[in-house]
């Protein structure tokens, strides 16, 4: 079947990303928006846009009933969920199917299988995919935990069975701390996920977070598109991602890729998906979990492989076969993504909602700006802080880093605080440049990062004083756009017979 | 025209002369010749001795946030006489307390204190949820809670007074 | 030697392009500006910027003395000329060398050799590079012309020996027209180039303009980077370029590339250069001329090869060897460039200087915007009309075309008229999509192109009326950025103890 | 409020009601419900029955140039009464001539006619150089050159009267 009209059940940069892919495929993109988003970029860019409720996501972007009804009313034949919101919600996928809408993502069964961490871990074990040594099932009692811990060895991690985002996790350094940590982790897990089950895992020091992108069609073909290194995180929020990983060589890539494809096949996976691995300093890799959706950081994979992942999702959803094999997937160069969030990195990382009064995005050679905002738009307090993803490609990692440093220097956002200054410092950091990364990298360097200060103190004072001088109106600056015309007017000789209309 | 620029790390008297894009500024005993243009709302181009700077100047509650190069400065600029009046007598008398105002709009998800509570520096006062993040606010000093002006579930605007502490 | 500081003797998008390359290489970029360009983008983006004179280029960007003096005063160790202005001026290259500045381009001798069309044609003939049959030297007399014409056959072309830009060119269909055409061509050539010499060439019908990019280092290594098809021209001004050419297969590419490298080597060429060929409908190729500079359309080659041409120019100028061979140059996918000029394509192609009051550039996946302007800037009447080059890459030509159509739809320029609407129609044209191109393509389709009209008539009226309604101030539209905050203010309950600071 | 929109291909009466972003427009006998927002200077977002349009509206000497989708329209909008007054009696009386004004700033590089010359439709009157392009301007009708207000080498602004023709 051919998709003709796709409703995008999302907002922000990912809605814009999907709109672009639809348009390039000749598909009519349909946006939805909450009351806070009438003037959001995805509304302006779509062919059609429909309101779906008040600002809180629970009353709009998470309302399965309204999304399905809107898709039907608009005559859409498919729904793209983006990431977040309902992207991995099996009930949404089923509601779409029930309404005769193609859900652009994996089948509900695969969503359910991957959403249950224990089931996913069980599948990995069955397939012989390496996992961090630990208990496969949640520990039933403190005694069981103690016995398992003795076998795994200390330090170890407690993790919530239904967890995510760091909640219900505890590092246990010694046997004496186990009982207390169990209590704390269970209580936190119960509060966060409604389930107190926790399991034990060996603690890996200096782990890297490396994930493998897979594509699977509805005809049983599965390929992987190499890995992304996502070790630069703060509170489990990725901030900088890259492909390839500086620590993965072709042999390791082949082994991780093969494991990822095996998982996807066994799970009956269809569409774009990601298998997350933890890699230890000896380059052993361990299955973490599967993300049954397009990832935020998918562009770095696109830039090195030349494969348009959203286009592939659309093709796969339409029932087309991949049409290429693993050997046809060839990576070139290196790509890096930096997340530009409306947060104040030097002010406790507070979110920074507000109006973007000035915006100059980076552009030029091999710079890609996947943005959800524009000058004059409002950054609402109701949604996450991601404004844009700045992505660069370079012939090698060094060239990509230099390009990212250049691009971050060009990127100007006025009106809200952003992560740009700290991203510039990360990209300039010697450990980042050397590829010495782990998920602790950011926690380790952040305390030492402060707003750069010194060299430009006088220039900053001059700018501030001139702004005030101008505001007082005594001696205004030349208006934004005079020059040529003014010079021109002076050169003009009215005596020579010219007259203004 | 004379100004005073107040920065985190000091106070600088600044004198400005000039107009139409060409200025001479005196900072302390340094003289700066500046070619300045406003190229877009809040974005200034400064040429100083051939060196090109682009400075973003944002108003933030009376102070300027200036981003220039990779540096960020928070600067309060006042006319010199106004500065003198404001600071004469050492400014507003220390009130021996602390007021927590909301630095951003959001929703109060948790209030950890009630009037009369004794708190130590670093104790959690309350949590504001905004942009899918929970932001914890802690006491900047030891003291007693004098007022709690918000409750859990309540929406707040940036600048709203949340909690008042007394020593 | 390592270059530390480079003065860019140019303006507009190419100055910005070179600034970016410098910054990525750790080189300090220095801009120069005329009185009309104080607020131009290249001035804002450079580390340093110096005034070099009044608005007319003859008093600023073409002033060799001021440029060299400024470079020396700024402590630059090299000069990048961009394209146009002094890029192919041997006297400028010599003045740089005399002042101890590295000229980032070919040696003066190569500039002179390539600037003289007859000498370049003689070289091509010596090397056995195919040329359109004709007289190698200018014809001395009408009799000589008649004799040569009889041998070449009609129709034929008269071309000025020192020509360019279509001046001094005449198509001669039959022997009876020769004498008159000779008079006209000689007179025009004398007026335009100060030299009335003309030569004869066989007329090729439906020719394609295809050029080969070469890179040559100072150590005798030369590689080619494939071809660009630049057949879409209006009055010899290219408007749309692409790589690869839809009519060039690997065998033809190898032959053209080999011929181009042979030319560059024989001319002692160093740096990035281009050999222009004319290709006839039977895929015979003929040498036209060599461009001893970076071309406007270089980005399409960059996007398919992954090689950063300005970076290579900087490396070569610093004396570095290329470090790779022909076999290492691998093209992937297809790239297209559209030139966004400040011209009114539906208003007689009149230039459209003015202030850019609104600007939203296209961005997102595989879209590159090499721009020299920003919102609020002035487009001066003193310089050429090129505002920006919109470049896309796609896995194949079809994907690139779809992406370009999408990107052109996103690109919004308010305040000056641009070529965007006609570019959109070119990219949508069935002959373009089929790759059926020749240098006559645009002349053939332009008369049939008009501003698209019809479907959106009522919407346009609504927008115009609402703008007037708002201007009258009776019932204003919501201001650009309200929504969340306003909704929020209503939800706020002052009775609950909140108070504003 | 009633307006009249004058397009190249016709004149349309338009009535507008509403405010704050929600409007009802009547064009002839069609009624349009429009949700309109100004998202940036001159850039409007219109939602009409769920269809999203972005229209760029530029003022061009009293008329609006509207770019929407891939279409461009030049539209003159007037209050209905003003339109009636302007057009009563058929507008300004035809003056039986033609005035060439400079459509863009530039420099006159060539003047091909002098007062008293007889010209045919399509004859070159003069050439303006701007942005490195030579732009030839031709007579839109046959007639006699009444005035030539510029000379070669002279700079002109957009709107300057260059040549006046009479029938």
- Domain segments of chain D: what residues? 2-80, 89-166
Nearest to B40 among A455, A464, A480 (CB): A480
A306/C482 touch (CB, cutoff 8 Å), yes or no: no
Catalytic residue (choose from A11, A293, A315, A403): A293
Predicted TM-score (pTM) of the model is 0.90
Chain D residues within 8 A of A45 when measuring between CB atoms: 52
pLDDT at A452: 66
B164 reaches C (C-beta below 8 A): no
Q: For the stretch D28-59, what's the b/e string if a residue is b when 16 or more beta carbons lie within 10 angstroms of its beta carbon?
A: eeeebebbbbbbbbbbbbbbbebebbbbbbbe
Chain C residues within 8 A of D133 when measuring between CB atoms: 343, 351, 385
A35/C487 touch (CB, cutoff 8 Å), yes or no: yes
Q: How far is CA A310 from CA A14, A241, C341, in A?
A: 10, 18, 32
Contact in structure between A71 and A30 (CB atoms under 8 Å): yes
A451/B72 touch (CB, cutoff 8 Å), yes or no: yes
Of B52, A366, D131, nearest to C84 by C-alpha is D131
Size of interface C-D (CB pairs under 8 A): 177
Is residue D92 predicted with pLDDT exceeding 80?
Answer: no
Neighbouring subunits of D (3+ Cβ pairs under 8 A): A, C
Is residue D13 predicted with pLDDT exceeding 90?
Answer: yes
CA atoms within 13 A on the CB side of C272: 28
Mutate: best of A48, A490, A497, A499, partner D, most D CBs <10 A: A497
C460/D41 touch (CB, cutoff 8 Å), yes or no: no
Nearest to C465 among D43, D68, D77 (CB): D77
Best-predicted range by mean pLDDT among A291-305, A443-457, D115-129? A291-305
Chain B residues within 8 A of A424 when measuring between CB atoms: 70
Lowest pLDDT segment from A111-115, A235-239, A380-384: A111-115
The C-alpha of D71 sits at a distance from chain C's nearest C-alpha, in angstroms, of 5
Q: And the tokens for C428?
A: 């949508």
Chain C residues within 8 A of D53 when measuring between CB atoms: 456, 459, 463
D20/C358 touch (CB, cutoff 8 Å), yes or no: no
Contact in structure between A77 and A101 (CB atoms under 8 Å): yes
Is residue A492 predicted with pLDDT exceeding 70?
Answer: no
Nearest to C346 among D37, D72, D75 (CB): D72
Contact in structure between C365 and A308 (CB atoms under 8 Å): yes
Mutate: best of A457, A478, A480, A483, partner B, most B CBs <10 A: A457
B68-107 residues touching C, CB cutoff 8 A:
101, 105
pLDDT at B8: 86
pLDDT band for position D95 (cuts 50, 70, 90): low
Lowest pLDDT segment from A221-225, A328-332, A448-452, B129-133: A448-452
- Residue whose token pair is 């100060």: C194
Model confidence pLDDT, tens digit, residues B108-166: 988 999 999 999 988 889 988 888 888 888 888 888 999 999 999 999 988 889 999 88
D73/C382 touch (CB, cutoff 8 Å), yes or no: no
Nearest to B154 among C44, C47, C496 (CB): C496
H, E, C per residue of chain B: CEEEEEECCEEEEEEEEEECCEEEEEECCEEEEEEEEEEECCEEEEEECCEEEEEEEEEECCEEEEEECCEEEEEEEEEHHHHHHHHHHHCCCCCCEEEEECCCCEEEEEECCCCCCEECCCCEEEEEEECCEEEEEECCCCEEEEEECCCCCCEECCCCEEEEEEC
pLDDT at C478: 56
Of A29, A498, A199, nearest to D100 by C-alpha is A498
pLDDT at C452: 67
C481/A368 touch (CB, cutoff 8 Å), yes or no: no
CA distance C352 to C416: 6
Give catalytic status of residue C202 as yes or no: no
Q: And the tokens for C135?
A: 């007289």
pLDDT at B89: 57
Nearest to A485 among C306, C376, C378 (CB): C378
The C-alpha of D81 sits at a distance from chain A's nearest C-alpha, in angstroms, of 25
Structure-derived torsion over alpha carbons of residues C293, C294, C298, C303, reported in degrees to the nearest 10: 130
The C-alpha of A20 sits at a distance from chain D's nearest C-alpha, in angstroms, of 15
Contact in structure between C165 and C173 (CB atoms under 8 Å): no
B154/C499 touch (CB, cutoff 8 Å), yes or no: no
CA distance C110 to C106: 6
Catalytic residue (choose from C208, C228, C253, C293): C293
Contact in structure between A3 and A102 (CB atoms under 8 Å): yes
Compute the residue count for chain A. 501
Chain C residues within 8 A of B154 when measuring between CB atoms: 493, 496, 498
A472 reaches D (C-beta below 8 A): no
Coil, strand or helix at D2: strand
Taking residues A459-473, what's their average pLDDT?
90
pLDDT at A126: 94
Nearest to D1 among C346, C385, C469 (CB): C469
Q: Provide CATH code, domain B89-166.
A: 2.40.50.100
Contact in structure between B98 and B143 (CB atoms under 8 Å): yes
CA distance C364 to A14: 11
pLDDT at B49: 93
CA distance C412 to A489: 29
pLDDT at A128: 95
CA distance D80 to D77: 9
A481 reaches D (C-beta below 8 A): no
Coil, strand or helix at A192: helix
Contact in structure between C134 and C277 (CB atoms under 8 Å): no
Beta-strand runs (E) in A119-217: 156-160, 170-172, 198-202, 208-216
D77/C464 touch (CB, cutoff 8 Å), yes or no: yes
C74/B50 touch (CB, cutoff 8 Å), yes or no: yes
Nearest to C463 among D9, D46, D133 (CB): D46
What is the complex's ipTM, to 2 decimals?
Answer: 0.89
Is residue A485 predicted with pLDDT exceeding 50?
Answer: no
C357/D42 touch (CB, cutoff 8 Å), yes or no: yes
Mutate: best of A19, A23, A501, partner D, most D CBs <10 A: A501
C59-98 residues touching B, CB cutoff 8 A:
74
Q: And the tokens for D86?
A: 């302007």
Of A426, A16, A413, nearest to A242 by C-alpha is A426
B53/A425 touch (CB, cutoff 8 Å), yes or no: no
CA distance D164 to A299: 60
Model confidence pLDDT, tens digit, residues A165-183: 667 788 999 999 999 999 9
pLDDT at D29: 87
The residues with which C97 forms a beta bridge, in sequence order, are: none
Contact in structure between C306 and C294 (CB atoms under 8 Å): no
The residue of chain A nearest to residue D104, with distances taken between CA atoms, is A485
Cα angle: B61, vertex B66, B67; to 5 degrees: 135
What topology does CATH give the domain B2-80? Glycoprotein, Type 4 Pilin (3.30.700)
The residue of chain B nearest to residue A342, with distances taken between CA atoms, is B131
CA distance C190 to C196: 4
Chain A residues within 8 A of D50 when measuring between CB atoms: 48-50, 74
Of A403, A353, A404, nearest to A379 by C-alpha is A353
Model confidence pLDDT, tens digit, residues A181-196: 999 889 888 877 788 8
Nearest to C332 among A306, A355, A377 (CB): A306
Lowest pLDDT segment from A274-283, A302-311, C174-183: C174-183
Neighbouring subunits of A (3+ Cβ pairs under 8 A): B, C, D
B121-140 residues touching A, CB cutoff 8 A:
130-133, 135
CA distance C358 to D42: 7
- Residue whose token pair is 């066989």: C202
DSSP of A36-78: GGTT-HHHHHSSEEEEEE-SSGGGTTT-HHHHHHHHHHHT-SE
Mutate: best of B50, B60, B99, B147, partner C, most C CBs <10 A: B50
B159 reaches C (C-beta below 8 A): yes
- Which segments of chain C have a pLDDT < 70? 163-166, 452-453, 474-501
Long-range contacts: A145-154, Cβ < 8 Å, 24+?
A145/A178, A145/A182, A145/A200, A146/A175, A146/A178, A148/A200, A149/A175, A149/A178, A149/A200, A150/A175, A152/A200, A152/A201, A152/A202, A153/A202, A154/A203
pLDDT at B39: 85
Nearest to D52 among A49, A485, A501 (CB): A49
């Amino acid at each position: 079947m051919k998709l003709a009209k796709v409703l995008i059940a999302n907002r922000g940069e990912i809605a814009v990303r999907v709109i672009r892919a639809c348009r390039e495929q000749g598909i009519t993109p349909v946006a939805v928006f909450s009351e806070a988003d009438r003037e959001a970029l995805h509304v302006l860019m779509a062919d059609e846009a429909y309101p779906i409720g008040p600002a809180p996501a629970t009353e709009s972007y998470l309302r399965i009933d309204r999304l399905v009804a809107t898709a039907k009313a608009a005559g859409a034949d498919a729904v793209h969920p983006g990431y977040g919101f309902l992207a991995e919600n099996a009930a949404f996928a089923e509601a779409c199917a029930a309404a005769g809408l193609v859900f652009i993502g994996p089948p509900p069964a695969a969503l359910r299988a991957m959403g249950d961490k224990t089931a996913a871990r069980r599948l990995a074990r069955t397939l012989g995919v390496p996992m961090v040594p630990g208990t496969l099932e949640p520990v039933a009692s403190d005694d069981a935990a103690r016995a398992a811990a003795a076998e795994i060895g200390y330090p170890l991690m407690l993790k919530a069975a239904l967890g995510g985002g760091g909640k219900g996790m505890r590092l246990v350094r010694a046997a004496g701390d186990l009982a207390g940590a169990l209590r704390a982790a269970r209580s936190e897990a119960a509060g966060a996920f409604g389930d107190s089950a926790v399991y034990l895992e060996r603690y890996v020091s200096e782990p890297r977070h490396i994930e493998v992108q897979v594509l699977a069609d509805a005809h049983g073909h599965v390929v992987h598109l190499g890995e992304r290194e996502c070790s630069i995180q703060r509170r489990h929020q990725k901030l900088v991602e890259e492909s390839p990983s500086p620590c993965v060589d072709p042999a390791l890539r082949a082994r991780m890729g093969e494991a990822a494809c095996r998982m996807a096949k066994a799970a009956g996976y269809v569409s774009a998906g990601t298998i997350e691995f933890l890699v230890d300093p000896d380059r052993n890799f361990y299955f973490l979990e599967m993300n049954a959706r397009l990832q935020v950081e998918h562009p770095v994979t696109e830039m090195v492989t030349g494969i348009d992942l959203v286009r592939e999702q659309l093709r796969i959803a339409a029932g087309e076969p991949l049409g290429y094999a693993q050997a046809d997937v060839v990576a070139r160069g290196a790509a890096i993504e930096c997340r530009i969030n409306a947060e104040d990195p030097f002010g406790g990382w507070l979110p920074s909602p507000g109006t973007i009064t000035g915006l100059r995005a980076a552009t030029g050679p091999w710079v890609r700006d996947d943005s959800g905002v524009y000058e004059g738009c409002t950054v609402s307090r109701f949604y996450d802080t991601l404004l844009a993803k700045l992505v660069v490609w370079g012939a090698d990692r060094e060239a990509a880093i230099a390009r990212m440093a250049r691009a971050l220097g060009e990127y100007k956002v006025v009106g809200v605080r952003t992560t740009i200054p700290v991203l510039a410092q990360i990209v300039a950091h010697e450990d980042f440049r050397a590829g010495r990364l782990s998920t602790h990298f950011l926690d380790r360097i952040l305390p030492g990062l402060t707003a750069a200060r010194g060299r430009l103190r006088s220039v900053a004072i001059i700018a501030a004083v001139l702004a005030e001088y101008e505001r007082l109106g005594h001696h205004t600056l030349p208006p934004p756009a005079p020059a040529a015309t003014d010079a021109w007017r002076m050169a003009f000789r009215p005596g020579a017979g010219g007259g203004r209309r | 025209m004379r100004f005073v620029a107040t920065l985190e790390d000091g106070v600088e008297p600044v004198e400005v002369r000039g107009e139409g894009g060409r200025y001479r500024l005196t900072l302390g005993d340094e003289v700066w010749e500046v070619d300045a243009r406003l190229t877009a709302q809040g974005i200034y181009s400064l040429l100083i001795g051939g060196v090109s700077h682009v400075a973003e100047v944002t108003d933030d509650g009376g102070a300027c946030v200036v981003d220039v190069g990779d540096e960020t400065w928070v600067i309060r600029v006042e006319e010199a006489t106004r500065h003198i009046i404001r600071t004469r007598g050492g400014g507003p008398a220390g009130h021996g307390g602390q007021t927590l105002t909301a630095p951003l709009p959001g929703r109060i998800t948790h209030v950890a204190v009630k009037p009369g509570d004794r708190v130590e520096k670093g104790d959690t006062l309350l949590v504001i949820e905004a942009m899918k993040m929970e932001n914890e606010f802690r006491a900047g000093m030891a003291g007693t809670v004098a007022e709690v002006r918000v409750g859990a579930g309540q929406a707040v605007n940036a600048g709203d007074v949340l909690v008042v502490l007394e020593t």
